[in-house]
Structure 1
Amino acid sequence: MWSDLPEHLKERVMESLPVDCFFRFRSVCRGWNTLLSSEHFNSIARNNQPFLILCPSKTQLPSLIYSFITHTWRPISVSFIPHDCPLNFGGSASGLLLVGLQTNSWYAHTSPVLYICNPLNKTCLRLPGMACVITIMANTISPVGPKRDKYKVMVIGRDNRDMVLLEVYDSTSKSWKVAGTIPDVVIRNESMIYSKGCLFCMTDGGMMTYNIEQGITTVVAMPTAGAHNVWAQLICCESRVVVVGAIEENYSLKGVIMWEVVFNETMKDYVWEEIVKMPSSVFDEFRRCSNSDWFQCVGVGDKICLRANESTKMLVYDVSGGSWSWVFNFPADLRYISMRYLPLEIMPNTRLS
């Protein structure tokens, strides 16, 4: 029956496949593999809502993929990554994960070990050693090209002279290049966002931006929430740079507010535009989910996902629709495990290079 089906019906079937079935489907025969490699299917995949992937720091633990279409979690193994040491997930792009190994080389005078991994077809590529950086401070991966099937890896770190540099790996040239010198600031975590030619990361002084082409660094002060303190997490929501701020009073979480980082052409500077403040009723429920004030957040397509520490449910804000919803079926046996939350696209034609 399958061979008699029109092509458009086959493509509709493929659109409905769970994420972990894509590559089993692909291995059945040449005809099915050709369908999954077609430009039409890739255009469908690029337009679909990306999945949310939860990546544990240990290879023996399963990763989890959540579909916003079927509202289900599915396990997917990362045991194919060829090391047992703790993993540091630096970001995702074009269906690929940037993974660093937390070995002694991160602190010795040797280049850190970075991998590019495809969790769907379980392939892994070790990147060549960086030219200068020996200690990573922040890193990210970004798609490039009209088809988004190429990528760049960007790393801010220190060299053996203790200078802070930006190094960039290009999947086309398959090599690293020093792309600039960064002021010596304290970067609060290793997460970094690349958008429209600029890098964004959080520092002790606020948000640091670095224009790669112009080599210009600016630090934008954090927005305020009255007399309260704000600690912030930087995420990417489609092409927008968003700061999710936790409002604190006497070291206790009192609210959550979101801003978009926008470049003002008149002022020639970045400004904060408020997206939404979490309603009191939603915040009260969010606060009851956990005994901790700490939470994680990530942008997945036009959605912002937030999960309080040790909670068994996740809160989702739809930026386009302006609505809040809950994901209730977070696997309870994984709620105490440290995991990195990342968006994951379906990009069958992305090559590890």
Structure 2
Amino acid sequence: MWSNLPFDLLSNIFSYLSPDSFARAKAVCRNWHTCTTTTVAPPLLRHPAWFIAWPIRHRGLSCYAQNPIDNNWHALSLDFMPSTVRPVAAIGGLVLLKFTNTTALHLAVCNPFTRQFRLLPPLNLARTNAAVGVVEIHSSYHQVYVAGGMSEAPGGGAIYQPTVEMYDSHHETWEIISSMPVEFAVRLTVWTPNESVYSKGMLYWITSARAYSIMGFQIGTKKWTELSVPMADRLEFAALVPRNGNLALVGGTYSGNVCTWELGDDDNWGIVEKVPSELGSRFPDWGTAKCVGINGAVCLYRDVGSGMIVRREILNKGRWEWRWIEGCCSIRRKNIQNFSIKGLLLHPNLFD
């Protein structure tokens, strides 16, 4: 009976499957494989995002993925990629990467589940230490923004580059779209990591130097603005995350309190929640904490083996919950040596 179902009905059923169940369905028979590869939209948003623990140094040619549905860790081989790349951010089911064997910024994208790897074309201007931001328009269309950085001066030496470039995945080209104040270019180059958050037409970066501050780029008007950070001089760590489509900030103080603030329409911050103390006590040192977030999930982590504090939206129930997730210490009875990671939250995409 199942082999004779119309493709449109099968397609609708398959779209509700979690990524791991979807992968198993593709392998059942030739008819199902054809249906999943020709008619089914990727089941991206009906299930929670997976946490990807990506080694900061290319260690053992593997990253590790935590499946939030069955609460298991899986090893994903990275032997199809060069060892000279480091993750920047997730874009849907893809990972944006930068090369570490060159001073000039050079980017690529990969899908760790389907083992796809693709170089992005070179930027119009060679830049070092530029800030990178991503905007996901929808599952098959994204833009990458590069701001600031340093370029070679005509007479030798280096200068700060007060321009913004944008990569459009539809046209697969880079375009210099605007200038920017030199002081913003300097701060983005010297004190800003690559993590960015897009909210309501603005692309935001937070400085890594205390006291923290936030720089925002209005994509429509090409204007720059600066925002203050709540408790900026007292936060031991701080990170930007999206929350219900708004800009939010997660930060922790030396006293061990970890809070989330949300930016209101009046550009004022309001505290919206705190990490439960029983979970926060599992982190002995908030100075080593890292944070990654997408709409629907926030994860506080340190390394691959120490465990994570995760806040997830319970889909279809309209509520959130905090949970402790054990770290990845072994897979199939094989011990995993602890190491530093860059955490990513993404929805596995078995098409790209």
For residue 198 of structure 2, the aligned residue among 194, 200, 221 is 194
CA distance in 2, matches of 1:17, 1:165: 42
What is the deviation of 1:245? 0.5
What is the deviation of 1:232? 0.8
Q: Deviations over 1:58-103 (max 9, x none)?
A: 163311122222111111112211x222x32111112111001111
Check whether the contact 2:202–2:216 (CA below 8 A) recurs between aligned residues: yes
What is the identity, as a one-letter code, of the residue corresponding to 1:281?
Answer: E
What is the identity, as a one-letter code, of the residue corresponding to 1:312?
Answer: S
Q: Do structure 1's residue 220 and structure 2's residue 227 form an aligned pair?
A: yes
Q: Deviations over 1:28-70 (max 9, x none)?
A: 636413324424x43x433322222121231633111222221
Check whether the contact 1:188–1:202 (CA below 8 A) recurs between aligned residues: yes
Check whether the contact 1:302–1:318 (CA below 8 A) recurs between aligned residues: yes
- Cα distance change on mapping 1:117 and 1:170 into 2, 3 Å: same
CA distance in 2, matches of 1:299, 1:243: 10
Question: Which secondary structure does the structure 2 equivalent of 1:45 belong to?
Answer: coil
- Cα distance change on mapping 1:213 and 1:14 into 2, 3 Å: closer
What percent of counterpart residues are identical? 21
So what's the TM-score if we normalise by structure 2? Answer: 0.80
Q: Which position in structure 2 is the counterpart of 1:135?
A: 128
What is the identity, as a one-letter code, of the residue corresponding to 2:30?
Answer: C
Q: Do structure 1's residue 52 and structure 2's residue 51 form an aligned pair?
A: yes
CA distance in 1, matches of 2:31, 2:6: 17
- Cα distance change on mapping 1:233 and 1:211 into 2, 3 Å: same
Q: Which position in structure 2 is the counterpart of 1:90?
A: 88
So what's the TM-score if we normalise by structure 1? Answer: 0.80
Question: Which secondary structure does the structure 1 equivalent of 2:279 belong to?
Answer: helix
Q: Which position in structure 1 is the counterpart of 2:155?
A: none
Map residues 169-184 of structure 1 onto 2, 5 A cutoff: 169-182=167-180, 183=184, 184=186
Q: Which position in structure 1 is the counterpart of 2:61?
A: 61
- Cα distance change on mapping 1:114 and 1:311 into 2, 3 Å: same
Question: Which secondary structure does the structure 1 equivalent of 2:130 belong to?
Answer: strand
- Cα distance change on mapping 1:159 and 1:180 into 2, 3 Å: farther
Task: Give the aligned CA root-mean-square deviation in angstroms.
Answer: 3.0
Question: Which secondary structure does the structure 1 equivalent of 2:319 belong to?
Answer: coil
CA distance in 2, matches of 1:28, 1:181: 54
CA distance in 1, matches of 2:337, 2:264: 35
Check whether the contact 1:96–1:344 (CA below 8 A) recurs between aligned residues: yes
What is the deviation of 1:324? 1.9
Q: Do structure 1's residue 121 and structure 2's residue 106 form an aligned pair?
A: no
Q: Which position in structure 1 is the counterpart of 2:36?
A: 35
Is the deviation greater in 202-211 or in 157-166? 157-166
What is the identity, as a one-letter code, of the residue corresponding to 1:63?
Answer: C
In structure 1, runs of 5+ residues without a counterpart are: 265-269
- Cα distance change on mapping 1:236 and 1:89 into 2, 3 Å: farther
What is the deviation of 1:6? 7.1
What is the deviation of 1:162? 2.2
- Cα distance change on mapping 1:334 and 1:297 into 2, 3 Å: farther
- Cα distance change on mapping 1:177 and 1:23 into 2, 3 Å: farther
- Cα distance change on mapping 1:31 and 1:20 into 2, 3 Å: closer
Check whether the contact 2:18–2:47 (CA below 8 A) recurs between aligned residues: no
Check whether the contact 1:100–1:112 (CA below 8 A) recurs between aligned residues: yes
What is the deviation of 1:195? 2.7
Q: Which position in structure 2 is the counterpart of 1:78?
A: 78
CA distance in 1, matches of 2:323, 2:179: 43
Q: Which position in structure 2 is the counterpart of 1:100?
A: 98
Check whether the contact 2:51–2:345 (CA below 8 A) recurs between aligned residues: yes
Q: Deviations over 1:289-335 (max 9, x none)?
A: x4663112222442211124575322122355343221125326557
Q: Do structure 1's residue 278 and structure 2's residue 282 form an aligned pair?
A: no
- Cα distance change on mapping 1:302 and 1:29 into 2, 3 Å: same
What is the identity, as a one-letter code, of the residue corresponding to 1:245?
Answer: G
Q: Which position in structure 1 is the counterpart of 2:338?
A: 336
Map residues 218-297 of structure 1 onto 2, 5 A cutoff: 218-224=225-231, 228-237=234-243, 239-248=245-254, 254-264=256-266, 270-284=267-281, 286-287=282-283, 290=284, 293-297=287-291
CA distance in 2, matches of 1:163, 1:127: 20
